[in-house]
Structure 1
């Protein structure tokens, strides 16, 4: 048996569990948004952080990383238990397909479980909903929790998407607005650096070329 996990937020740079293979790819008809409250990692109940969830938008794509866990039911169960603890603020799952850049038509993985949040503030206490960019930036700039600052989550995501070669314009815009709130000038990833590389970006570890594989079940999540 093989267990796949897709991450579109902190799992892109910090999966937090043992895995055997990593694939960069995307899912369709979803986009990354900062509409979810985090009260136990990057924020507190009194001052929640804003972290990623997915919003359904026809025609959109969301890039991220899929991780493979091999080793039998015990290893898979251990990984899923970890993910469910980490993703406790997500209350909804759905099945989608996962694609690689070389073939955007035929999925390489099927029945990927994506953890998202129900977009309803009444039924889902963690759903913050959309807000003006300036308001989100002020919240992210000041929130912190046991795992660190909310702004670091955003900046690490910005860098992670740069590292895999698929920046998210919304992440970049929000990160630059947070820098403006913090009074940081010139620390973002400029368009020029995004196109030719940046001297302050840590080089990616080598990911070996992947052989063709059978379509497999997978799980996707974020924190």
Structure 2
């Protein structure tokens, strides 16, 4: 019997799951950070004005170029592990390959959770789409105010970039009592402040 096809979602897959899911479970990764370090030309921005979406970065790689990151040790990435109906594995793989085509590469990683107070591997081999630092859409670390402004301004075929941020932040909060993400929540706060400022004084300049 072949191993189940398990996909780990840490970005939009949390609030917009893949099709043909037969089971799902919250979990977390070790040794990675989740950052808005990937340009989005096709979903939350355009080729001329790309938005920003999250990717996973190996912690040791992020430490090499993250001088502007105020949360260098925030490396617990919570998400959802989806088990896909075996009958539709090929279809779901094709769907995800297309959905994550803008610079993402599929990797296999272990997924953890806390079981009876003990850190436990719940899936030894889950598939995950990672925007590696050598892909053309990877932009790396940006100062939070500039990043927030970019997210606030950007709009793509899938909708406003800030909608992606808000949906992700809300979804992460609901995963587990431990699923706190300082980078994500700090960006959410800054972008909401831009929303409030716009209501009273107009939008910032692009």
Secondary structure, counterpart of 2:164 in structure 1: helix
Partner of 1:211: none
TM-score under structure 2 length normalisation: 0.81
Query: Do the aligned partners of 1:32 and 1:53 also contact (CA within 8 Å) in 2?
Result: yes
Partner of 2:150: 139
Partner of 2:79: 64
Q: Are residues 159 and 67 of structure 1, via their aligned partners in 2, closer, same or farther at CA, if it must alter by over 3 Å?
A: same
What is the rounded CA distance, in whole Å, between the counterparts of 1:109 and 1:138 in structure 2? 37
> How big is each residue's C-alpha offset from its partner over 1:37-92, in whole Å with a ceiling of 9 and x where there is no partner?
111111100110100001211683211001111233xx100011000000102343
Partner of 1:44: 46
> How big is each residue's C-alpha offset from its partner over 1:116-175, in whole Å with a ceiling of 9 and x where there is no partner?
12213xxx2211111100100010001001110000000000100111131311111001
Coordinate RMSD, CA, aligned: 1.9
Partner of 1:107: 121
Query: Do the aligned partners of 2:151 and 2:191 also contact (CA within 8 Å) in 1?
Result: yes
Matches within 5 A, 1:71-220: 71-72=86-87, 75-102=88-115, 105-120=119-134, 124-165=135-176, 166-183=179-196
Query: Do the aligned partners of 1:42 and 1:149 also contact (CA within 8 Å) in 2?
Result: yes
Runs of 5+ consecutive residues of structure 1 not aligned to the other structure? 186-223
TM-score under structure 1 length normalisation: 0.75
Higher helix share: 2
What is the rounded CA distance, in whole Å, between the counterparts of 2:54 and 2:26 in structure 1? 18
Give the Å deviation of 1:104: 5.1
Following TM superposition, where does structure 1 have runs of at least 4 consecutive aligned residues deviating by more than 4 angstroms? none
* 2:24 aligned with 1:22: yes
Runs of 5+ consecutive residues of structure 2 not aligned to the other structure? 61-72, 199-206
How many residue pairs are counted as aligned between the two chains? 180
Secondary structure, counterpart of 2:120 in structure 1: coil
What is the rounded CA distance, in whole Å, between the counterparts of 1:94 and 1:104 in structure 2? 26
Query: Do the aligned partners of 1:26 and 1:100 also contact (CA within 8 Å) in 2?
Result: yes
Q: Are residues 62 and 160 of structure 1, via their aligned partners in 2, closer, same or farther at CA, if it must alter by over 3 Å?
A: same
Partner of 1:205: none
Query: Do the aligned partners of 1:36 and 1:128 also contact (CA within 8 Å) in 2?
Result: yes
